Amino acid sequence: MTDEMQVPTMGAQDAPDAVYDARTLGRPKMFVFGLQHMFAMFGATILVPTLTGLSVSATLLFAGLGTLLFHLLSQRKVPAFLGSSFAFIAGYAAIAPHGEAELLPYACLGVACAGLLYLVLSALFRAFGAARVMRFFPPVVTGPIVIAIGLTLASSAIQNCQTNWLVALVAVATIIVANIWGRKMVRIIPILLGVLVSYAVATALGEVDFTPVETASWIGLPVLWDNTVFALAGPSFNAGLAITAIITIVPLAFATMIEHIGDISAISSTCNRNYIANPGLHRTLLGDGLATILASLFGAPANTTYGENTGVLALTRVFDPRVIRLAALFAIVFSFCPKFSAVIEVMPACVIGGVSLVLYGMISAVGIRNLVENHVDFTLSRNIVITALIIVLSIGIAYSTAGAVVIPAGSITISLSGLAIGSLTGIILNMILPGHEAYRAVDGTEVAADDTPAATAGDLPLEGPSTRL
């Protein structure tokens, strides 16, 4: 009996074509399925370092290593692949807006601290159950945060598109066609296809300089010491910048942890296995958090479970985690090829802009979907106030003259981004305002509603003066 079969079902009958032990298919087919999973995550995973300035090679290495670590900590039961998280792009942009090599390690330090939050939440889940913990981070908080992340990044997408709108629109059109009219595997990898097609058009138009590719070696180390967090140690360490990075980036983890729970739920439904019960959310969160910490310390983006790979699971009906671990090994092998990394790094800005134009919009759309699917009641004053302040503070501060709220603290200066202030404001308001609704978590635990009901929004001055007598 495989590890997979030891997990309780979701209550449905297993599909007759479902495969829970890929060894029955033979090694050649397992090899092909593993490659398919690697390419499914590929487009999105490599896009994050391209947008932030981080190393592509390090990204692939720690996507693979992070996935293997996740599988180890989740008892080798969950068929999930960990790729680069989009949610932290705004954090990297706040600390190193132009991908400055000397600033990126500080951003990575902030992301590593965000990973520690996963560990805390994992312990709390284990001790108190998901409902008691997630009551502090309901959809009315996490949804607007995710919306603000996408909208905050919108200007950078436009700036990149402006270098060549034709190529950018080719990327947009390819993603739309693949996502709407694509079939089978095509529909699962729209981002990868958008990159490939627009990259080819840019090459034909003479927008790409392949000189760095020609000079790059075939084999090399994926991690450079200067790109790691450990390189910050020394007399040049900027404590103010480090604190700024931590305060700015850590709140973003609340949104990514919600995303993690949603992904594990989706994988459970797809595979007809209750991974929330066994191995449990506390183990999957622990694996995701430690993978993020490991990647960040060595200069790679934060890790997260990937919906693209869940789509591949649904398409192939091969649910064996061994296949995912094969994909992780393939990613590790690719990370040791600097020439491959150079191909990604010479990608013109217009290609990046076109893809990110859709991507950043999709991030905001996910936040909207979070609000809709969870039936957030906007007739309640508390929900309107929380949502309004998160969005306005996050976006307003980001596009202000200073771009942040600067706080002098003795000999150091702390700069708080709009996302940091907006997120913290939303979390605090949700804690102190009355009217918490009853909440039932995915692990079956639940908490009752507040005794004090929330005020309705009827008295808020949103539609002009009242005409009531």
Q: For each of the chain's 469 residues, which pLDDT tens digit applies?
A: 455 557 887 667 888 888 899 888 888 888 888 887 887 777 778 888 988 989 999 999 999 999 999 999 999 999 999 988 877 888 898 899 888 999 999 999 999 999 999 999 899 888 888 777 778 878 888 888 888 888 888 888 898 899 999 999 999 999 899 888 887 777 777 878 888 899 999 999 988 888 888 888 999 999 999 999 999 988 889 998 999 999 889 988 887 887 788 788 778 878 888 888 889 889 999 999 999 999 999 999 999 887 667 777 877 788 999 999 999 999 999 999 999 888 888 888 898 888 888 878 887 887 888 888 888 888 888 899 999 999 999 899 888 877 777 777 666 667 777 888 888 898 899 988 887 777 776 667 777 777 666 666 665 555 544 444 3
Domains held by the chain: number:
1
Q: Is 278 contained in some domain?
A: yes
Q: Is 455 contained in some domain?
A: no
pLDDT in the model for residue 370? 80
Q: Is 415 contained in some domain?
A: no
pLDDT in the model for residue 216? 87
Other Cβ atoms less than 10 A from the Cβ of 78: the count is 27
In angstroms, what CA-CA distances link 422 with 250, 251, 268, 376, 425? Answer: 13, 9, 32, 19, 5
Q: Is 440 contained in some domain?
A: no
Please state the length of the chain: 469
Question: Among residues 312, 310, 306, 315, which one has the least CA distance to residue 36?
Answer: 312
pLDDT in the model for residue 468? 42
For 156, the token pair is 């950078």
Q: Is 74 contained in some domain?
A: yes
Cα–Cα distance, 363 to 458 (Å, whole number)? 31
For 30, the token pair is 């397992």
Give the domain range for residue 45.
Answer: 12-363
Q: Is 189 contained in some domain?
A: yes
- 447, 132 contact by CB (below 8 A): yes
Q: What is the pTM of this model?
A: 0.79
Q: Is 291 contained in some domain?
A: yes
For 119, the token pair is 């560990």
